[in-house]
């Protein structure tokens, strides 16, 4: 078992059931840093933002000590009085944590339009704080899950020297129904003991999110609650990381790997998914083209259902590529499925039986070469099964 | 039973099985006008256009006598030799019909990337032509169906006086999996005996398509084969319809009604659908805003699954509205489901049991008022069921 968000020095975690979810499942989590952290975050662009998101946006610039997260209730579209409840709740927690209320961030996921379960959450605070430990990362990640079937954690050694050990980064995330977050919430919390300036952390996080979580989404749909937060508490006591230094490149690269691995876990765990899909697009005229094509193929419902059925219906993939306005050399465009080339401007003769066998794998790779340039991008998704529909019919 | 495309004077139709589909189901249709028609069309913007579409685009400017349509094979992404087969096939038909090859249009729907079944289609021509009759509209519409569960026809009296009767318009269409034509083909063929100038027909068709078929699609995804064609043979011998005349308004309005009714039938018959969804958006700042919101709500997978489950999970609808960048008065925005107001800037108290009962209906109406202006739009869709996934897993 990994250590996730408690891998870097000085981070504690906790997760309990406060009564929002049934069956005593964890529904309330806390991430706590023993010393002040700088924080960086990216938040949903939805016009109806959760009050939890609004609270975090307001306070992300401050020195941060803790992040409170509840699952089972989105704290969104539930009326103005829940903004007051949000403020009151965080204030109560800050008293118990003996810290400033503006040093606590808040994230929520769950049903929209229902009052924040203020009493339940509040009455869980004592147990939540008691429970804080560097060992309780798994309880914390369980507390943020909704329809996820497994907890998603990752940790990485950067190789950057600190005063005693290397600089570490850890993270945990929750998934986003069918990897088409047409309103399903994606949450990710990252911790590091790096000493890094705020601007460097902002840029590193923005780039990492762009290449990872943003490559598992289709459209620009974002839920009312999407949140990625990174805390850096500086306890590794490394030389401060600034933009333009080799250490920044190393840190930034480690953060990208961590975000990509968490994003892949989310894709792997799409609601009802039976297969993981990786779409690699090469030969693009520009970055925008390759990203758009990769995401559109990974998000196509006809591609997703074909893959669920193990059906080498490659025509659907070519048609999705053609439906974008990306520059394509139509006479030379190549498509490979599971390593087998099936199209190169025209259909190719290939061993269909062999491909059907390869498509029984849990991991399906689609490779597209647009033959127009040197840009490339990768996107991740999952297949679409009857189970997805079942989960979402019965959600509320 | 309606008369569909054979309702206007001088149009004959035919539909046979030529061996592409199993079980002797109709898979080849012909629409024939006893005299030359002007033609207007809108075609897919996909970069990998079917050779059938390319043929029709090339010839739509000509005087048209017939439209050939096959189902079961898309004639797309299947290699250059199929372009030659397409030309040869139409030439053979033109000889049998004793008309110019450039006066025949062609449309196809079915699997992508497979050779045009040239021999099967060619050998069906004699029977297809023998079978032509003003009574065989139903066979013709059956011949264009793929996963459609019922044939879609409509006809309308315009009220515009012809030499003996009124000017008539008729139409037939085939659906587009799940009303998210993420690559599923939409075909529509319209006939009229109106005398109308080409420019007037072009504009009337473009506007009608915009308010109908374009309001049942999500995204700008279009299949390799989407086609809407309207033929006008002038046999009603009315006074020529020009833009700017009252007759143009009447004709244009009738065409809009016809297209809207066909579009609604397509939405109603989405793959695996159990319910029809109508989304009406009012109070928009501009036309673009209301159209975008209406289409996004009707196309949201979480809204579609909630409706399949009869679940009044209105928060998902509000969140979809917020995910667009349409101008919204967030404090006053209204949402009604099945006539019951559930949200007005905040959640409202409503009779949930009552709403759950109303949501058992086959037709679900969602009304949104953005409270920012006077623009409005309507979009149509259907729910998303396990059956949709099943159909598309097993397609090829």
Q: Is B358 on the interface with A (CB under 8 A)?
A: no
Distance from CA of B373 to the nearest CA of A (A): 18
Structure tokens at A64: 């941060």
The mean of the pLDDT values for chain B is 92
Q: Is A119 on the interface with B (CB under 8 A)?
A: no
Q: Rounded to an integer, what distance in angstroms lies between the CA atom of residue B392 and that of residue A309?
A: 8
Q: Rounded to an integer, what distance in angstroms lies between the CA atom of residue B30 and that of residue B19?
A: 16
Verify that A8 and A147 share a domain, yes or no. yes
Least confidently predicted of A316-330, B293-307, B335-349: B293-307
Give the DSSP H/E element, type plus range, for residue B198.
helix B198-211
Which residues does chain B have within 8 Å of residue A334's beta carbon, measured at their own beta carbons?
none
Beta-bridged to residue A336, according to DSSP, are A341, A367
Verify that A85 and A214 share a domain, yes or no. yes
Q: Which phi and psi (to 5°) does residue B117 adopt?
A: -75, 70
Which residues does chain B have within 8 Å of residue A386's beta carbon, measured at their own beta carbons?
386, 389-390
Cα atoms in the 13 Å half-sphere on the side-chain side of B196: 36
Q: Is the pLDDT of residue B218 over 90?
A: no
Verify that B294 and B235 share a domain, yes or no. no
Provide the chain B residues 376-395 that lie in CB contact (below 8 A) with chain A: 384-386, 388-390, 392-395
Distance from CA of B79 to the nearest CA of A (A): 4
Enter the DSSP assignment of B369: E
Structure tokens at A315: 């025509």
Q: Is the pLDDT of residue B65 over 60?
A: yes
Query: Nearest Cβ partner of A76 from B114, B300, B315?
Result: B315
Mean pLDDT of B203-227: 85
Residue B277 CA, chain-centre distance (Å), reads: 16
Strand-pair category, B187-192 with B227-232: parallel
- pLDDT given at position A302: 77
Q: Which of A109, A185, A222, A378 is catalytic?
A: A185
Question: Are the Cβ atoms of A347 and B222 closer than 8 angstroms?
Answer: no
Q: How confident is the model at residue B182 (pLDDT cuts 50, 70, 90)?
A: very low
Verify that A282 and A261 share a domain, yes or no. no
- pLDDT given at position B392: 62
Verify that A159 and A198 share a domain, yes or no. yes
CB pairs under 8 A between A and B: 195
Tell me if residue A45 is catalytic. no
- pLDDT given at position A270: 80
Question: Are the Cβ atoms of A315 and B113 closer than 8 angstroms?
Answer: yes
CB B370 within 8 A of CB B283: yes
Which residues does chain A have within 8 Å of residue B388's beta carbon, measured at their own beta carbons?
389
Verify that A79 and A132 share a domain, yes or no. yes
Distance from CA of B309 to the nearest CA of A (A): 4
Enter the DSSP assignment of A362: S
Least confidently predicted of A339-343, B309-313, B353-357: B309-313
Question: Are the Cβ atoms of A224 and B319 closer than 8 angstroms?
Answer: yes
Domain span at residue B18 reads 4-268
| E runs forming strands in A257-354 | 276-284, 334-337, 340-344
Question: Are the Cβ atoms of B221 and A323 closer than 8 angstroms?
Answer: yes
Q: Rounded to an integer, what distance in angstroms lies between the CA atom of residue B236 and that of residue B164?
A: 7
Task: Identify the domain boundary among A268, A294, A312.
Answer: A268
Verify that B294 and B181 share a domain, yes or no. no
Beta-bridged to residue B13, according to DSSP, are B31, B133
Question: Are the Cβ atoms of B346 and A79 closer than 8 angstroms?
Answer: yes
pLDDT in tens, B129-164: 999 999 999 999 999 998 888 999 999 999 999 999
Query: SS3 letters for A13-37?
Result: EEEECCCCCCCCCCCEEEEEEEEEE
Which residues does chain B have within 8 Å of residue A177's beta carbon, measured at their own beta carbons?
302
Question: Are the Cβ atoms of A306 and B113 closer than 8 angstroms?
Answer: no
Which residues does chain A have within 8 Å of residue B382's beta carbon, measured at their own beta carbons?
none
Burial class (CB in 10 A: 0-12, 13-18, 19+), B197: middle
Q: Return the sign of the alpha-carbon dihedral for residues B73, B75, B77, B80.
A: positive
What pTM was computed for the model?
0.88
Mean pLDDT of B313-327: 91
- pLDDT given at position B10: 98
Q: Rounded to an integer, what distance in angstroms lies between the CA atom of residue A30 and that of residue A89?
A: 14
Burial class (CB in 10 A: 0-12, 13-18, 19+), A129: middle
Which residues does chain B have within 8 Å of residue A184's beta carbon, measured at their own beta carbons?
302
Structure tokens at B9: 């004077």
Dump the DSSP string for B98-154. TS-GGGEEEEEEEESSS---HHHHHHHHHHHHHT-BTTTHHHHHHTT-SS-SS-EEE
Q: Is the pLDDT of residue B290 over 50?
A: yes
Question: Do you know the residue count of chain B?
Answer: 396
Q: Is B91 on the interface with A (CB under 8 A)?
A: no
Q: Is A182 on the interface with B (CB under 8 A)?
A: yes
- pLDDT given at position B394: 61
Q: Is B335 on the interface with A (CB under 8 A)?
A: no
Verify that A382 and A250 share a domain, yes or no. no
Beta-bridged to residue B378, according to DSSP, are B280
Q: Rounded to an integer, what distance in angstroms lies between the CA atom of residue B342 and that of residue B350?
A: 6
Verify that A204 and A304 share a domain, yes or no. no
Three-state DSSP state, B396:
coil
Verify that B90 and B205 share a domain, yes or no. yes
- pLDDT given at position A388: 67
Q: Is B80 on the interface with A (CB under 8 A)?
A: yes
What total number of domains does chain B contain?
Answer: 2
Give the chain A residue nearest B111 (alpha carbons).
A315
Query: Nearest Cβ partner of A301 from B80, B178, B322?
Result: B178
Question: Are the Cβ atoms of A113 and B320 closer than 8 angstroms?
Answer: no
CB B240 within 8 A of CB B197: yes
Question: Are the Cβ atoms of B180 and A300 closer than 8 angstroms?
Answer: no
- List Cα–Cα distances, A187 to A125, A128, A180, A266, B215, in angstroms: 21, 20, 14, 10, 33
CATH value at residue A287: 3.10.20.340
Q: How confident is the model at residue B179 (pLDDT cuts 50, 70, 90)?
A: low
Verify that B114 and B187 share a domain, yes or no. yes
Q: Is the pLDDT of residue B91 over 80?
A: yes
Verify that B262 and B280 share a domain, yes or no. no
Which residues does chain B have within 8 Å of residue A356's beta carbon, measured at their own beta carbons?
none
Which residues does chain A have within 8 Å of residue B49's beta carbon, measured at their own beta carbons?
322
Question: Are the Cβ atoms of B113 and A343 closer than 8 angstroms?
Answer: yes
CB A70 within 8 A of CB B346: no
Provide the chain A residues 247-306 that lie in CB contact (below 8 A) with chain B: 296, 300-302, 305-306
Task: Identify the domain boundary among B238, B268, B298.
Answer: B268
Mean pLDDT in consecutive groups of 10 residues from the start of chain A, 396 residues: 92 98 94 98 94 98 98 94 98 98 97 95 98 97 91 97 96 75 77 98 96 76 88 98 97 97 90 88 97 91 83 88 94 96 95 94 96 96 77 59
Share of chain B above pLDDT 90, in %: 79
- pLDDT given at position A182: 47
Q: Is B357 on the interface with A (CB under 8 A)?
A: no
Q: Is B114 on the interface with A (CB under 8 A)?
A: yes
pLDDT in tens, B254-280: 999 999 999 999 988 887 788 999 999
CATH value at residue B74: 3.60.70.12
Assign residue A200 a region (left: φ > 0; alpha: ψ between -120 and 50; beta: otherwise). alpha
- pLDDT given at position B181: 44
- List Cα–Cα distances, A338 to A309, A362, A366, B276, in angstroms: 15, 11, 6, 38
| Nearest alpha-carbon partner for B45 in A319, A131, A26, A44 | A319
- List Cα–Cα distances, A264 to A249, A301, A305, A379, B317, in angstroms: 22, 19, 19, 9, 28
Mean pLDDT of B73-95: 97
Q: Which of B109, B146, B158, B185 is catalytic?
A: B185
Task: Identify the domain boundary among B268, B295, B326.
Answer: B268
Give the DSSP H/E element, type plus range, for residue B344.
strand B340-344
């Amino acid at each position: 078992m990994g250590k996730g968000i408690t891998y870097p020095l000085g981070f504690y975690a906790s997760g309990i059931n406060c009564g929002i979810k049934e069956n005593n499942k964890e529904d309330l989590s806390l991430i706590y840093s023993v010393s002040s952290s700088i924080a960086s975050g990216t938040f949903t662009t939805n016009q109806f933002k959760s009050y939890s998101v609004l609270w975090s946006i307001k306070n992300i610039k401050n020195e941060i000590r803790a992040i409170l997260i509840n699952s089972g209730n989105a704290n969104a579209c539930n009326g103005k009085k829940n903004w007051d409840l949000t403020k009151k709740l965080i204030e109560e927690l800050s008293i118990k944590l003996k810290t400033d209320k503006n040093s606590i961030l808040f994230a929520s996921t769950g049903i929209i339009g229902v009052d924040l379960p203020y009493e339940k959450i509040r009455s869980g605070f004592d147990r939540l704080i008691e429970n804080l430990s560097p060992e309780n990362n798994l309880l914390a990640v369980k507390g943020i899950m909704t329809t996820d079937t497994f907890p998603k954690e990752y940790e990485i050694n950067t190789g950057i020297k600190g005063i005693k050990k290397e600089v570490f980064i850890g993270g945990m995330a929750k998934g986003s129904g069918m990897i088409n977050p047409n309103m399903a919430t994606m949450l990710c919390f990252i911790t590091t003991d790096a000493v890094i300036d705020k601007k460097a952390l902002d840029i590193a996080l923005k780039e990492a999110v762009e290449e990872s979580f943003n490559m598992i989404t289709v459209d620009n749909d974002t839920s009312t609650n999407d949140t990625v937060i990174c805390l850096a508490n500086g306890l590794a006591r490394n030389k401060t990381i600034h933009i333009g230094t080799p250490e920044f490149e190393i840190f930034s690269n480690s953060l990208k790997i961590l975000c990509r691995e968490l994003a892949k876990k989310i894709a792997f765990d799409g609601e009802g998914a039976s297969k993981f899909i990786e779409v690699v697009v090469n030969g693009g005229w520009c970055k925008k083209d390759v990203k758009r094509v990769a995401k559109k193929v990974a998000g196509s419902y006809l591609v997703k259902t074909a893959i669920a059925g193990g059906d080498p219906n490659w025509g659907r993939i070519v048609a999705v590529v053609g439906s974008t306005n990306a520059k394509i050399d139509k006479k030379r465009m190549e498509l490979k499925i599971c390593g087998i080339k099936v199209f190169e401007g025209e259909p190719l003769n290939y061993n269909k039986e062999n491909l059907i066998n390869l498509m029984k794998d849990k991991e399906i790779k689609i490779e597209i070469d647009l033959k127009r340039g040197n840009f490339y991008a990768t996107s991740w998704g999952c297949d679409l099964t009857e189970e997805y529909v079942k989960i979402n019919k019965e959600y509320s």
